[in-house]
Amino acid sequence: MRIWRTLAEIPGAQRSVVTIGNFDGMHNGHKKVVSTCVERARRRGVDAVAITFDPHPLQVHKPEAGVQLISPLRDRLDAMAAAGLDAVLVAHYDVNLYSLEPDEFVQEYVVDRMGAVEVVVGEDFRFGRANAGTIDTLRELGRGLGYDVVMVTDIEAPEGRRWSSSWVRSLLAEGDVAGAARVLGHLHRIRGTVEHGFKRGRALGFPTANLASGIEGVVPGDGVYAGWLVRNVPGTLSAEFLPAAISVGTNPQFGATERTVEAHVLGRSDLNLYGERIAVTFVSRIRPMLAFSSLEELLAQMDDDLRQTASVLGIGPAGRVDPDSVTAL
């Protein structure tokens, strides 16, 4: 999939079916819109192309809201490539873009550069200065500019709720990563660089890879989760998926105040991941974050966490490692 960062990078003879949106998280609703774009492009014998935005418009217009992307741009683009798109324009969202009137945006981005023969959007689509453009606006402009408009109706979950990024964020805040995965259509993951922590876990037989600052993606609510630590295999395009028990929170047992993500790879004491960029993928919540009355009670619970994590992930029984065997400094 080709990725364009500016209009100037787009070939002048481009002809395409275009879809437009933020596509944050690439949930099931987004996938339906994108798959419709791809299907109609194949039927017409032209490219299937998306226009998406970075940063997210809410981060620009309402920075005080602290909106965080469900997943990093890299993961969004990977999901869009997997959906079959031929190219994506990552349009830099700034005053030069959001000040365009609806007709200016369509003329410059959709027609002149993309060569749109068709535009595919969801039914809540808005565009242009102050979101003044609607689907009716898009259709009216299309009649004069030579493209058709296809509206994909809101896709509803079995309980009748519309698939949406806000629903995903709500589920993640509750720690319901399995529910979020159902809405997304894939497991939720975050990315970050492994940092040095207090090294309490290694002394207890639970060495962890710690993420604290610079995490990309929405961190689920506090608790203990079963999931995977994913690292790139150096010198290859391959990834290594390591079964992990993941702790999210401030670690109330030790009176900590900084919220971190700590991933313990089951059965491994030989990993040195400091400074490495990794992904952490969440499968299921094991329990809430708790404080215990004694270290022994904490250790007993952590032993149970490992057993439950291994069961959820479908691997053999796991237990604590020998603290003296931990090789990372």
For residues 19-30, average pLDDT:
95
Token pair for 83? 């959906």
For residues 222-239, average pLDDT:
89
Provide the pLDDT for residue 5: 96
What number of CA atoms fall less than 13 Å from residue 119's CA on the CB side?
31
Q: Which long-range CB contacts under 8 A does 134-142 form with residues at least 24 apart?
A: 137/102, 138/102, 138/106, 141/102, 141/103, 141/106
Percent of residues in the chain assigned helix, strand, coil, to nearest 5: 35, 25, 40
Superfamily of structural domain 2-157: HUPs (3.40.50.620)
Length of the chain: 329
Q: Give the right CATH number for 165-325 from 3.50.50.100, 3.40.50.300, 2.40.30.30, 1.20.1540.10.
A: 2.40.30.30
DSSP for residue 154 = P
Question: What's phi and psi for 69, nearest 5 deg?
Answer: -65, 140
Q: What is the per-residue pLDDT across 113-168, written as a single tens digit (0 to 9) for each?
A: 999 999 999 988 999 999 999 999 999 999 999 999 999 987 777 777 888 999 99
Q: What percent of the chain has pLDDT over 90?
A: 70
pTM of the predicted model, to two decimals?
A: 0.90
First to last CA, the chain: 40
Over 70: is that where the pLDDT of 255 sits?
Answer: no
Provide the pLDDT for residue 137: 97
In the three-class reduction of DSSP (H, G, I as helix; E, B as strand; rest coil), residue 70 is classed as: coil
Provide the pLDDT for residue 155: 76
Is the distance from CB of 295 to CB of 259 less than 8 angstroms?
A: no
Provide the pLDDT for residue 293: 84
Q: What is the per-residue pLDDT across 176-196, written as a single tens digit (0 to 9) for each?
A: 999 999 999 999 999 999 998
Over 60: is that where the pLDDT of 254 sits?
Answer: no
Provide the pLDDT for residue 240: 93
Q: Where in the chain is CATH 3.40.50.620?
A: 2-157
For residues 14-43, average pLDDT:
96
Residue type, 239: A
Question: Given pLDDT bands bounded at 50, 70 and 90, which one contains residue 98?
Answer: very high
Q: Which of 229, 222, 191 is nearest to 207 (CA)?
A: 229
Provide the pLDDT for residue 14: 87
Across 21-30, 88-97, 230-239, least confident range: 230-239
For the chain, the average pLDDT equals: 91
Q: Where in the chain is CATH 2.40.30.30?
A: 165-325
Q: Which of 32, 35, 21, 50 is nearest to 116 (CA)?
A: 50
Is the distance from CB of 6 to CB of 96 less than 8 angstroms?
A: no
Provide the pLDDT for residue 319: 79
Is the distance from CB of 287 to CB of 223 less than 8 angstroms?
A: yes
Over 90: is that where the pLDDT of 259 sits?
Answer: no
